[in-house]
């Protein structure tokens, strides 16, 4: 049985969300309130297991009295606040943010991106054919996972997952500044020369597919990656006594990717190299 920590009872905050009364526990973000009320606010840099950096700005909403828009993922609800999530002003910023991202990086493997671009009528092409792009080649420097920074939106999630929010390995950081900023290990070295422990927890949180299993990367390149043909089976990792949950993604009777349920109270979606990548023996048929 899973023990759910109840914690200290929290006061309820009352505020107005799109004209409706909303009540959320103290400490909740505007995004929590939106989701509780069944509203769809797009998010990229927000993740269920991390404190967001609120860098992508796609979740901005309008708060009465605030000079600028505020990120729903990070701003905590305050009593009496008047929040509007779907104003022309908020939609405009979301549209432009989507255009800016789609015109500079490859969002083809970002879940939700295509739908949002359609919903907000974003036209990334209008910056012209010469609009600067990130233009990165995939970094394939180890057998386990690939870093394709042409798809990176700099959400900081991998850095946070590798650093003090989860893994405490600190193998990667944002290097450089402005449009030239990139996720990198020290001296931009290959991963094999870095502090990386190949836990793959960065892949788990990557919202765009910039970080992916080598198996997924190769299958996509070969055109054989087919999520509709995959099954997902959650099981328990057999390597040690912690008992982490693994979700095996299987296509054509081969494990092609391993994730972990984010709501698992022990691991919160995190694994180690063995659970994440040590599955080859299962399908070794020789």
Site residues, other proteins (CB under 8 A): 53-58, 60, 68-69, 71, 74, 89, 92-93, 95-97, 100-101, 103-104, 126-128, 130-132, 153-154, 156, 163, 168-181, 184-189, 193-195
Count of other CB atoms within 10 angstroms of residue 168: 9
Question: With respect to other proteins, which residue has the nearer C-beta, 153 or 258?
Answer: 153
Bridge-based pairing of strands 230-236 and 245-251 is antiparallel
What does each C-alpha distance from 181 to 7, 91, 119, 222 come to in angstroms? 40, 27, 29, 30
For other proteins, the closer CB: 99 or 216: 99
Count, residues in the chain: 286
Cβ-based nearer residue to other proteins, 211 or 246: 211
Q: How far is the CB of 263 from other proteins (least distance, A)?
A: 26
Residue nearer to other proteins on the CB measure, 190 or 243: 190
CB of 94: closest distance to other proteins in angstroms? 8
Q: What is the H or E stretch that residue 184 is in?
A: strand 182-184
How many helices (H) and strands (E) the chain has is answered by: 7, 12
Smallest gap from residue 140 Cβ to other proteins (A): 20
Q: Which residue has the tokens 């099954």?
A: 231
For residue 149, the minimal CB distance to other proteins (Å) is: 13
Burial 151-167 (b: 16+ CB within 10 A, else e): bbbbbbbbbbbbbebbb
Closest separation between CB of residue 54 and other proteins, Å?
6
Q: Which is nearer to other proteins, 168 or 253 (CB)?
A: 168
**C-beta of 164 vs 254, nearer to other proteins:** 164
Distance (Å, whole) CA 275 – CA 238: 8
User: Residue 241: how many CB atoms within 10 A of its CB?
Assistant: 5
Residue pointed to by tokens 């700005």: 57
Task: Kindly state the smallest distance separating residue 123's Cβ from other proteins, in Å.
Answer: 10
Residue 233, strand partner residues = 248
What's the closest the beta carbon of residue 206 comes to other proteins, in angstroms? 16
CB-wise, 69 or 246, nearer to other proteins?
69
The candidate with the shortest Cα–Cα distance to 113, out of 104, 122, 32, is 122
Helix (H) or strand (E) holding 212: strand 211-213
We find the least distance from the C-beta atom of residue 96 to other proteins, in angstroms, to be 4
Cα angle for residues 25, 29, 33 (degrees, 5° grid): 65
Nearer to other proteins, 184 or 255 (CB): 184
């Amino acid at each position: 049985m899973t023990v759910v920590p109840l914690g200290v009872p929290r006061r309820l905050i009352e505020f107005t969300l799109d004209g409706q009364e909303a009540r959320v526990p103290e400490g909740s973000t505007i995004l929590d309130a939106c989701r509780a009320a069944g509203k769809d606010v797009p998010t990229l840099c927000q993740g269920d297991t991390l404190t967001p950096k609120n860098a992508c700005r796609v979740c901005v909403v309008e708060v009465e009295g605030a000079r600028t828009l505020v990120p729903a993922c990070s701003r905590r609800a305050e009593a009496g606040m008047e929040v509007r999530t779907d104003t022309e002003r908020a939609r405009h910023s979301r549209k432009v943010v989507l255009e800016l991202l789609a015109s500079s990086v490859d969002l083809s493997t970002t879940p939700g991106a295509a739908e949002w671009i359609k919903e907000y009528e974003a036209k990334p092409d209008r910056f012209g054919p010469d609009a600067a792009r990130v233009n990165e080649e995939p970094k394939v420097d180890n057998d386990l996972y690939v870093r394709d920074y042409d798809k990176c939106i700099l959400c900081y999630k991998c850095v946070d997952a590798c650093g003090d929010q989860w893994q405490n390995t600190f193998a990667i950081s944002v290097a450089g500044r402005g449009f030239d900023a990139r996720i990198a290990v020290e001296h931009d070295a290959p991963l094999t020369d870095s502090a990386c422990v190949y836990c793959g927890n960065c892949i788990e949180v990557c919202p765009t597919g910039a970080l992916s299993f080598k198996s997924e990367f190769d299958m996509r390149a070969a055109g054989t990656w087919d999520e509709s043909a995959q099954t997902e089976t959650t099981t328990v990792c057999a390597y040690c006594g912690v008992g982490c949950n693994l979700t095996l993604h299987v296509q054509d009777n081969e494990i092609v990717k391993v994730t972990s349920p984010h709501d698992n109270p022990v691991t919160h979606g995190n694994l180690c190299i063995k659970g994440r990548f040590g599955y080859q023996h299962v399908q070794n048929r020789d």
